């Protein structure tokens, strides 16, 4: 299980090229996420159901990096044009909602306010994915490649949304939690068709976090593996560190949400990372752990409703959604 734990650490702290002589050029880093926008989407529908006047479609589309992307598409009634939201779930071990279902109930409420939503399964939970349990560095490399594919699959998801006549291309947003907050921080700098980002319980300045002497989790990893191997991996996968991207998000707006009782993301790191983001930006803390809570859900959806010019939200329905486990 050591490889699994190391990969879990890197979900939050995907190391930087610590000790390199000069920072990488942003223009070179963004090329790591190029793809062929003209390739077929090959959307395949597996089923659909009606819920409170909203249509939930179970579908998949082709990933530019191979395989298929399982997704829910949640569509309001009426003709539109509608705003659109991409949702990326967390990767907490043991959670029954470590998948595209994390935000499904929230997306249904947003649909009644006038937003189409696309919720995808992360590469790490798709059929056939297996992390290397014997070599922690190899597992970390797999995790970085999975993050790159996830980001490109979100870009392909933007293509899918904009292929629909009922989606307004000027009103696109992204919501990502934990692993997908990390992915979303990079996506925000790379994908300029999205104007609003909510990033929940993520880490964005990995070098300081990984080599923080007060970080017992990573101190144990460093003792076991050795800094030389970690730094070699870091140099190879420097494009998987949000710190080189978060200053390039403007003119898109970002809302960072954190739990004040989150043991994985201490408040001192959260406030430090917030300073690295370009304006416009907003930060909020909640009396919660890594899962956040109902108040965080209400505040991000109010923010999205304002940014996307949605109809009034059913806040009572949002409050009834069970807390994430």
Is 324 within a domain? no
What are the φ and ψ backbone dihedral angles of 245, each rounded to 5 degrees?
A: -120, -30
Is 241 within a domain? yes
- Provide the pLDDT for residue 22: 66
In this structure, the strands spanning 196-200 and 115-120 are: unpaired
List, in order, residues 6 or more apart from 292 with CB less than 8 Å away.
177, 200, 201, 257, 259, 286, 324
Q: What is the pLDDT of residues 91-127, one digit of tens each?
A: 999 999 999 999 999 999 999 999 999 999 999 999 9
- Report d(CA 170, CA 226) in Å as an integer: 48
Is 112 within a domain? yes
What are the E-state strand segments in 230-280? 253-259
- Report d(CA 239, CA 269) in Å as an integer: 20
Compute how many other C-beta atoms are within 10 angstroms of the C-beta atom of residue 299: 17
Q: What's the burial of 251, exposed, middle or buried (CB within 10 Å: 0-12/13-18/19+)?
A: exposed
- Rounded to whole angstroms, what are the CA distances from 3 to 17, 209, 264, 305? 21, 19, 18, 41
**Tokens matching residue 224:** 């076991």
Share of the chain above pLDDT 70, in %: 92
Is 325 within a domain? no
Question: Taking the C-alpha atoms of 298, 58, 81 and 317 in order, what is their torsion angle to the nearest 10 degrees?
Answer: -30
pTM given for the model: 0.92
Q: What is the pLDDT of residues 222-255, one digit of tens each?
A: 888 888 888 888 888 999 999 999 999 999 999 9
Compute how many other C-beta atoms are within 10 angstroms of the C-beta atom of residue 256: 24
List, in order, residues 6 or more apart from 130 with CB less than 8 Å away.
none
Lowest mean pLDDT among 6-15, 89-98, 185-194, 216-225: 6-15
Residue 58 belongs to domain with CATH number: 3.40.50.1820
In this structure, the strands spanning 253-259 and 167-177 are: unpaired
Range of the domain at 110: 2-319
- Report d(CA 28, CA 121) in Å as an integer: 28
**Tokens matching residue 161:** 């949304």
Is 143 within a domain? yes
Structurally, the chain folds into a number of domains equal to: 1
């Amino acid at each position: 299980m050591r490889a699994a734990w190391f990969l879990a650490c890197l979900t939050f702290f995907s190391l930087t090229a610590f000790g390199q002589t000069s920072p990488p050029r942003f223009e070179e880093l963004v090329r790591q996420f190029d793809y062929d926008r003209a390739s077929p989407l090959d959307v395949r529908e597996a089923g659909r159901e009606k819920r409170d006047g909203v249509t939930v479609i179970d579908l998949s589309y082709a990933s530019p990096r191979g395989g298929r992307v399982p997704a829910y598409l949640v569509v309001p009634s009426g003709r539109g044009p509608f705003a659109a939201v991409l949702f990326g779930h967390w990767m907490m071990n043991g959670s029954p909602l470590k998948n595209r279902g994390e935000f499904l109930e929230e997306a249904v409420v947003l649909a009644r306010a006038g937003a189409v939503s696309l919720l995808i399964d992360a590469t790490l939970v798709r059929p056939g994915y297996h992390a290397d349990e014997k070599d922690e560095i190899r597992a970390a490399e797999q995790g970085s490649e999975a993050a790159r594919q996830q980001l490109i699959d979100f870009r392909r998801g933007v293509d899918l949304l904009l292929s629909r006549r009922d989606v307004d291309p000027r009103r696109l947003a992204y919501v990502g939690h934990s692993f997908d907050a990390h992915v979303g921080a990079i996506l925000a700098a790379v994908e300029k068709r999205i104007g609003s980002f909510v990033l929940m319980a993520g880490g964005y300045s990995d070098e300081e976090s990984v080599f923080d002497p007060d970080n017992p989790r990573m101190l144990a990893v460093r003792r076991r593996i050795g800094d030389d191997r970690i730094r070699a991996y870091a140099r190879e996968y420097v494009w998987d560190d949000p710190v080189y991207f978060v200053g390039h998000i403007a003119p898109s707006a970002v809302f960072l949400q954190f739990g004040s009782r989150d043991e994985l993301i201490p408040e001192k790191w959260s406030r430090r990372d917030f300073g690295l983001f370009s304006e416009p930006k907003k930060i909020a803390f909640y009396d919660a752990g890594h899962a956040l809570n109902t108040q965080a859900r209400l505040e991000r959806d109010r923010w999205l409703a304002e940014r996307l010019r949605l109809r009034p939200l059913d806040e009572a329905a949002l409050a009834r959604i069970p807390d994430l486990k």
